[in-house]
Structures are given as structure tokens and as C-alpha cells.
Structure 1
Amino acid sequence: MKLYVVAGSPNSRKVLAVANHTGIDVEVEYLDFFEGDLGNEAYKALNPNAMVPTLVDGDLKLWESNAINQYLADTSENNTLFPQNLAQRADIVRWQFWELAHFNQALGTLAFEAIAKPSFMNAQGNEAVISWAGEQLNRFATVLNDHMQGRSYVVGDSITLADYSMIHVEYFKEMVPFDWAPYPHLNDYFDRMRQAPHWAATAPESADAIGRIPANQSGAGL
């Protein structure tokens, strides 16, 4: 089983955290975003979107981080991340869909336009998009904040796939131009998940390390 990722990529971190949590033996291959590794024809043959992560397990070539996480959880002997109970699974999947379509769509857009473009791409963020993303984030942060009142985790009493999905843009949370003060339950939740060992282990060494192959890795073997 081989997993292609980019260091510091939120979606890559999401999958790496689940791999850590389950203890599955996964060979991790880091790609260099700035050297164009994602655009290599060999990699695009695995993932035509030229994005990360991608999991290869035998003949299976699987992309989309939430799908990969469900596969990893079901492949492992760990039944807590994605329980077999149908109601619990549906609840976890509901929150995975929600974070992707609403909360993290807004937070990720805001992080990309306000942080990633000027800091990593030598480009100016689109102010209209930044304004729109802030409005959307305010709307959906309210939903998550209300949900997390009196809760430690999104679904149930322990970490599930919903949590690793929900907090995958955590690294950029405090950097974006957004006032988090009105959302104390959301903030407590993010602070708690930030300390979760399997998630913390996926953090980039520094901002300069984002997108680069870690010094102790061999690099792309495509």
C-alpha cells in the first residue's frame, strides 16, 4: 500500500493522521509541489486531477481524501474511526460531506486566497473571493460552534474520521483574516484536536517545509 502526499497539504495531513491512527503499514511517498511533481505524467496516470493524496493498493488507485480514509479505516482492525453501526457511519459521513462542501470549503478558500497565494505562490489574493469566503465561514462556523457545545468530538465519545476531516485546515486557522472570538466551542475543539498525537505528528516542520520533500525522505519515485 503506497500513499502519495505533499508535506503540509491539509488533505494529505488528513490521510496521514488516519494512517497513523490505524497503524496500517503504508509506504509514504512525498511529492514536491514546487518542482511540479504533481504534473508528472506518471503521477497523473494515478490521479488525473494532479492533486494529493493518492492511495495505491494493488490494482486500486484511489483519490479523494475522505474516500481514502474510509478505505483505510475499513481495511484496518480499528473499528472506532468508522464504526460498523450504520447510524454512526451515516453521521460520520454526513459531517465529512458537510466539512467538504461548506465549512472547510470556506476556510480552505480563505486560506488559499489570503495566505497561500501571497506566501507561497507570489500572487495576490482575490479580495472579492476573500470577502465571500469570510461570509461563508461565519455562517458555517456558527453551525459547528453550536454543535460542539458540550461535546469533545464531532460524533460520539472518541475521535472518528469526522474529526480528522473537520480539522484538516487547522494549520492555517489562526493565520486567516477571520475573527474566531465568537466561536468558543469551536475554538476549544480545534485546540483539543491540535494536540491529538496522530494529528500532531503530521504537522510540517515549518512554513518553509510546506510543499517540499522532507529532508529525511527520498522524494518522488514515479
Structure 2
Amino acid sequence: MTGPDATIATDYDYQTCDPSIERTISLRQATLDRDLGRLHAWLGSDHVKPYWQLDLPLPAFRDRLATKLADDHLTPYIGCLDHVPMSYWECYWAAKDDVANHYDADPADQGVHLLIGPDEYLGRGYALPLLRAVVTMQFRHPETERVIAEPDARNDHVIHILEQCGFESRAEFHFDEAEKDAVLMVCDRNRFETEVLTDATAAPPQNADDGSEVSADD
């Protein structure tokens, strides 16, 4: 998290050793040249397709990814465990996103989307530590006091993980622009830093399968 165990390596925007899983979590910005193939495979996976709806032919997917990478309000990240790429994250400025049409967004609010790609990482208790690391990275921005998420209302797994990470459900709404029924969830900086990070530091290493894994959120 935010203490002395958090370091920044040359290849990463954020890196930390998480004691709850005894693994190094690293986050780097995605690139077209480096990540097109892996993201095309991940977003075409059966556990991802119902939520992200990006199971596209490679040329069309390339165009969509290029659009995301060029978007000035959104930053796509690759999440790694012990330096192995295994998850995809989108961090965005909520006030510049379509979600701002559905709640009173502060200019410094950030949002997050997430998915775990390879099947071998599912059901092994990695989602919460990864999400915790991403939210910690987002709160490094000094003006950000809230991180929000708008998961598909059907996705009980991701909602559970978000709640474990300090997010609270505020409202269910029809997200017209994203063509889904969504739940607005909000993580307050004070609660995250005083409760979530404190509990994570004090908790012993968890079992490999915590029964609450998440595959995707959109």
C-alpha cells in the first residue's frame, strides 16, 4: 500500500508487495504493440464476454483499443502478479465519463473497471489485493477523495470484491450509455486508508481460494 513497501520500478507506474497473498503486484500502462494480443484473448474469454462485450475480430478490436489508449480521460493498465501479466484495469476521471450523467461527480473523482484474464488466476483470491493496489495508486493523486465503480448489477462477484475494498453501494441505475443496469459504488479515501489498508496490513496470508473471485466488471 502507501507505506515503505510500495516502490516504483522502471517498467511500472505502481508496485507493491502484498502480504495477504505474498505476491508482488505491479501495474503498468497498456500499449498497443505490447498488449494487443493478450487483451484480445482476455476480452474474448467466456468469463469476460457477457460484461465487456468486446469479443470482436482482431482488426475491430485493435481500433477499439487504440481509441481507449488515445482517450485523455481514461488510462488502461496491465496488472501483473510477480511480473506476469494477468489482469486489465481502466482508471478514468469520472467527471469526464458518461457515468457523470448519473451522479454528482467531483472533478477529482476517479473510477475503475477491472477484469482478470487467464483462467488459471480465477478463484484464487487475487482480485481483492489487486483492486486494493489499484485504488491505492489512484489515491496518490492528492485531490482525489473518492474512487467510484459502476459494475453490472448482475455481477455479484465484483460487487462483493468492491465492498471488501471499502466501496459502498449508493444507487442502482440504468446506464444507458453503457447499455447495462449498473450499481454506483463509492470508495471514500478516509475509510479506505483507515479501515481497508489497516485491515490488509494486519491480516494473515489468505487461503488460495477465498470463494469470492471476480472475472470482470463491465
Higher relative contact order (CA 8 A, sep 6+): 1
Whether these two folds match at TM > 0.5 is no
**Larger strand proportion, structure 1 or 2?**
2
TM-score by length of 2: 0.30
TM-score by length of 1: 0.30
